Amino acid sequence: MGKKFILIKLVIVALLFGSSLAAQQHNHNHSGHNHDHSGHNHSGHNHDHSGHDHSGHNHDHSGHDHSGHNHGSHDHDSHGHHGPVCGVAHDHTFDAGNTALHHISDANVFSIGPLQIPLPCFLYAPGTGWDIFMSSKLKFDKIGHGDGGKAYNRYVLDGGAVRRVKDASFPMGDVAISGIVHQNDAYFVCHNNKLYETEAKSSADGGLFGGGITSFYDFSLTKNVTSMLIVTLLLSWLFLRVARRYRERDGMAPKGTQSFIETMFVFIQDEVAKPFLGAQYMKFLPFLMAIFFFILGLNLFGQIPFFGGSNVTGNLGVTMVLGILAFLVTNFNGNKHYWEHILWMPGVPAWVKTILTPVEILGIFIKPLTLMLRLFANITAGHMVIIIFVSLIFIFGDLGNNMGAGFGTAIASTLLTLFMMAIELLVAFIQAFAFCILTASYIGAAVEESHEPH
């Protein structure tokens, strides 16, 4: 059913991803200072024309002193590239792609509108060990974008996310930083008018998606983890309450929250668990329910405007865990019949088996992989589309310079966003349901007893 739809979504994500990169590229080539062509500072040049002696052809142009540049002057008539410079960035171009990417990212602050709430950081760096502190220690503005004004043990806050100075000679402990500078693909902080490159936390993609092992690991309660905690605690409270209701009102008709939850619960039980798992449904029901309500809760939580805007189920790490668990539950419960069909399909010629077996073995891994990618792509795409629709207002409004176009776009954009949010509400349910029903079908195939004799 969803295969085509998912492909289309993936294409959309790819397109958005591509266009945002292009936009980023474009932006970097034309935006103002602090980027690589900002360049040469001639203010401090010491043109020593001493001794106006023209007779002796002795023009002493000695000492083109370049050592004194980078003092915040804005001389653009340079003729060379000497990398990024320190200074306070005041760039007034708007980049929708970057905004979208920033909003779907995880962070070490929880944003409610423009308000940034600090979160606890648990950071581990091999060599220096654990560092545990609130992200407010890195001195970011409570109303702002989460750029830190201080470094602690080489950790800095850049756009709400903890990064670490690569240079091991950077002083440890509390250190004031005077600015954060971005250049094409690199991130820097200024300290004593010197730029230090920073790096992101380690990621488990093995460099496949541009990540890999860096100098530190982030086990913080990030925005995503906090959202997950909020959602699971809410769900736990809700379900424990409902379970208690069932105990207390034994033999009576459901009421209130109980009947609200029962609708969804019975739907998953009767439309997903029972048809696919048959008599064994009770064994896997907790897993399927946990999957469904966890994903649904997080999908919906991420759509609350101005409240975190957490893109939890749109983060590959989260969907990967769910995919791996689905994989483990499926294969640990696989019976003889299931493995026989994968490893040595009965009833087909031997030469077909040599083709079929590798395909079936690949299939074991591809199934959870598609689960992981489908959920990730759908939710991320949804978040990005909404952010980009909202961004249209600022693009056409030219950040307040063109109010007319801004208002005009705002009307169209609001309608579009409204429409998209309605769609995303649907997607929140559909994706939770799709993940759940596909997991049930994989488990069902693994535990199914052979019906026809071979």
CA distance 310 to 13: 18
Counting contacts by CB under 8 A, is residue 111 touching another protein?
no
Q: Which of 93, 335, 414, 450 binds another protein (CB under 8 A)?
A: 93
Give the Cα separation of 60 and 141 in Å (integer): 51
| Span of 4-12, 181-189, 341-349, 432-440 interacting with another protein by CB under 8 A | 181-189
Least distance between another protein and beta carbon 119 (Å):
12
Tokens representing 407 are 């208002």
CB of 282 to another protein, least distance (A): 6
Interaction between residue 426 and another protein (CB under 8 A): no
Shortest Å distance, C-beta 118 to another protein: 16
The nearest distance, CB 13 to another protein, in angstroms, is 9
354: enclosing H helix or E strand = helix 350-396
Distance CA 379, CA 312 (A): 9
- Going by C-beta distance under 8 Å and a sequence separation of 6 or more, which residues neighbour residue 394? 94, 96, 406
- Site membership for another protein, residue 266 (CB under 8 A): yes
Number of residues that bind another protein (CB under 8 A): 77
Binding of residue 434 to another protein (CB under 8 A): no
Is residue 14 part of the contact set for another protein (CB under 8 A)? Answer: no
What whole-number distance in Å separates Cα of residue 77 and Cα of residue 81? 11
Asked if residue 332 binds another protein (CB under 8 A), the reply is: no
Q: How far is the CB of 42 from another protein (least distance, A)?
A: 26
For residues 300 and 379, give the distance between their C-alpha atoms in angstroms, rounded to a whole number. Answer: 10
CB of 56 to another protein, least distance (A): 52
Considering only 60, 65, 91, 167, the residue that binds another protein (CB under 8 A) is: 91
For another protein, which residue of 210, 349, 400, 453 counts as binding (CB under 8 A)? Answer: 210
- The vertex-183 CA angle with 177 and 185, nearest 5°, equals 115
Q: Candidates 24-32, 44-52, 69-77, 436-444: pick the segment binding another protein (CB under 8 A).
A: 24-32
Nearest-angstrom CA–CA distance, 366 and 10: 16
**DSSP for 247-310?**
HHTTTS---THHHHHHHHHHHHIIIIIHHHHGGGHHHHHHHHHHHHHHHHHHHHHTTSTTBTT-
Alpha carbons within 13 angstroms on the beta-carbon side of residue 436 total 30
**Binding track over 120-149 against another protein, x by CB under 8 A:** --x----------------------x----
Q: What is the dihedral of CA 59, 63, 68, 69, to 10 degrees?
A: 60
Q: Any contact of residue 200 with another protein (CB under 8 A)?
A: yes
Residue 12 contacts another protein per CB under 8 A: no
Which residue in the set 5, 17, 307, 429 belongs to the binding site for another protein (CB under 8 A)? 17
Q: Which stretch binds another protein (CB under 8 A): 4-12, 85-93, 129-137, 330-338?
A: 85-93
Tokens 């299931």 belong to 338
Q: How far is the CB of 291 from another protein (least distance, A)?
A: 8
> In the set 98, 331, 333, 402, which binds another protein (CB under 8 A)?
98
Q: Does residue 164 touch another protein according to CB under 8 A?
A: no
Q: How far apart are CA 63 and CA 44, in angstroms?
A: 11
Q: Quote the CA–CA distance of 117 and 135 in Å, as a whole number.
A: 9
Kindly tell me which of 287 and 429 has the beta carbon lying closer to another protein: 287
Pick from 133, 239, 339, 429 the residue near another protein by CB under 8 A. Answer: 239
Cβ 61 to another protein shortest distance, Å: 38
Residue from 95, 138, 152, 303 that binds another protein (CB under 8 A)? 95
Q: Please report, for residues 35, 65, 77, the alpha-carbon distance to residue 81 in angstroms, rounded to integers and kept in the order given.
A: 10, 16, 11
Q: To the nearest whole angstrom, how small is the minimum distance from the Cβ of residue 413 to another protein?
A: 18
Q: Of the two residues 177 and 318, which places its CB atom closer to another protein in the complex?
A: 318
Residues 364-403 that bind another protein (CB under 8 A): 376, 380
At CA 214, angle to CA 210 and CA 218, rounded to 5?
100
Whole-Å CA distances, 327 to 190, 251, 315, 321, 441: 46, 38, 18, 10, 12
Distance CA 298, CA 232 (A): 9
From the CB of 167, what's the least distance to another protein, in Å?
Answer: 19
309 binds another protein (CB under 8 A): no
Q: Which is nearer to another protein, 108 or 342 (CB)?
A: 108
